[in-house]
Chain A
Amino acid sequence: MKLEVTHLSRAFGSHKALDGLSLAIENAHSLVLVGPSGGGKSTLLRILAGLETPDSGTVAINDVPLLFDEPQLLQHRRRIGVVFQAFNLFPHLSALENITLPLTAVHGHTRSEAQDIAMEQLRRFQLEAKAAQKPAALSGGQRQRIAIARALAVQPQMLLLDEPTSALDPSMTAEVLETIALLRDQGRDFVLATHEMSFARRVADRIALVSNGRVAELSEPGPFFDTPISPVTREFLAKVV
């Protein structure tokens, strides 16, 4: 994917979540965002997902500029898969129905096509036994993996994952991370915000440190962890690694 973000700003009241953030990557499948909580990772992802409108700045994905008016945003959201920290699934629908809903309601598949696609996704994640279960009957890790399956089922241009393991027990984190590693092996394009540093190193083609609403450092994982340039990165890595 190619991603170009220039001078992106977004304030909530007096708090500047994004403060003129710029970022450009090319020829990479995965971009991992790390940095302190409240640094702007989520806001950036939400703007990329078409869920939030910036006060100023531009975004272009694969050379297509993102237009921030509602009809365009709706089309954009339909091309993108999003996984939040938690509560992605609809509690009144089974795992299977959660996956088929966007397929039938948004992407024009028939019921039986949608079911085939959804079962195929579940099978790939070894979750076919959970197809009929409601989210309440699933573990947190299973819920997140089904959310990823739902996002993938519509064949999105890219996947946006906003701290998908932050609300999970450590015991369940691993299974979700394995699923994400699978995406990387398949060469899928995704942007992931996470606090799991060793995992970031493993799956990132590019890694960016987002802090105070700006990108402090953007490079490949090797140099990022071994020879960071920015003092902000050094300070952050000293705290978390």
Chain B
Amino acid sequence: MVPSGVQRSTKRLFFLSRTEAEPSGPVRAFNLALVTCLVVGTAALILRSSGLRWDWEAVFGYWRLFVDGWRTTIGISAAALGISTLIGAGVALARRSVFVPLRILAQGYVEVVRGTPLLAQIYILFYIVADAVHLENRTLAGILTLSIFSGAYLAEVFRAGIEGIAHSQLESALAIGLTRAQTYRYVILPQALRNVLPAMTGQFVSLIKDSSLLSIIGLNELTQSARNVASYTFSNLESYLLLALGYMAITLPISILTRRLERRFRYET
């Protein structure tokens, strides 16, 4: 049956044609509005039938706690992000080192950290290791734990990025007389960075959310604040909704920024 004109234009409102990679502006806006309505409507229905009574006032009374916690979360995450990137880069290089013990050490680190829960790592590093080396600053201990955890994942991301560089590129680098270090700097890293950008952002976003587990060693970050407020006010739902929004406010800009960077780095190979 040949589709009529009406059918065809209705179809074009919702479906991409074979030649389109992205929806056009109006089609995107229309569908965005549609999906938003559906999601908000469903959420409203669920809330109404659950018979919840909102009490934002009690929660807002503690807004300072939220802001302090939020800022702590940002601080911890930013520090851990930097340190874990350094660890990840170092371990990725160590895994490719010509010095065998270093290779094995790096691989062992990655396997142990990726194979155990963060919760266990936090307890072990805080109550055993930090105690043994007299590291009493909880914030610093938390940042280091999170960095060690995330560094293992980043090491694997970076390693995949480095190994994804075509052999012919290394050959060309050698032929023009670059040293090993120069090859990394001018040839491997710029190309690897572009390849790993999506996976790296994913890991950064995870890191920010994983920082919530640091509440178990009594760090007053966002999760701890929300939990405290919830227990003071008995407004669980409100506190945790704010908590979720707080994390979104950090992770969403990172996602958007990465998408921009990806577009800037894009080139065909």
Contacts and interface: CB of A to CB of B under 8 A. Distances in A.
A195 interface: no
A92 interface: yes
Interface residues of B, number: 21
Nearest to A102: B176
A101 B269 contact: no
Nearest to B169: A90
B168 A84 contact: yes
B184 to A, nearest CB: 12
18 contacts: A49-B175, A51-B171, A51-B175, A74-B177, A77-B175, A77-B176, A77-B177, A82-B175, A87-B169, A89-B172, A91-B268, A92-B190, A101-B176, A102-B177, A106-B177, A134-B268, A136-B267, A137-B268
Given A87-B168, A91-B191, A92-B194, A106 B176 contact: yes
A91 B269 contact: yes
B267 A150 contact: no
A106 B178 contact: yes
Interface size class of A (residues with CB under 8 A): 20 to 34
B177 A90 contact: no
Nearest to A73: B174
B169 to A, nearest CB: 7
B252 to A, nearest CB: 29
Interface of B: 166, 168-169, 171-179, 182, 186-187, 190-191, 194, 267-269
Nearest to B193: A92
A89 B187 CA distance: 10
A82 B174 CA distance: 10
Interface string A89-115: 111100000000110011000000000
A154 B179 CA distance: 16
A74 B267 CA distance: 31
A78 interface: yes
B191 A77 contact: no
Contacts of B173: 90
Interface string A183-212: 000000000000000000000000000000
A88 interface: yes
Nearest to B172: A88
Top 3 closest A-B pairs, CB basis?
A136-B268, A78-B177, A87-B168
Interface of A: 49, 51, 74, 77-78, 82, 84, 86-92, 101-102, 105-106, 134, 136-137, 150, 154
Contacts of A154: 176-177
Contacts of B191: 90-92
A83 to B, nearest CB: 9
A74 B179 CA distance: 8
A82 B179 CA distance: 16
Contacts of A136: 267-269
Contacts of B187: 90
Nearest to B269: A91
A90 B172 contact: yes
A88 B173 CA distance: 9
Contacts of A137: 268
Given A84-B168, A90-B172, A137-B268, 13 more contacts: A51-B175, A84-B171, A84-B172, A86-B168, A89-B172, A90-B191, A91-B267, A92-B190, A105-B182, A106-B177, A106-B182, A134-B268, A136-B267
B178 A87 contact: no
A105 B194 contact: no
Nearest to A104: B186
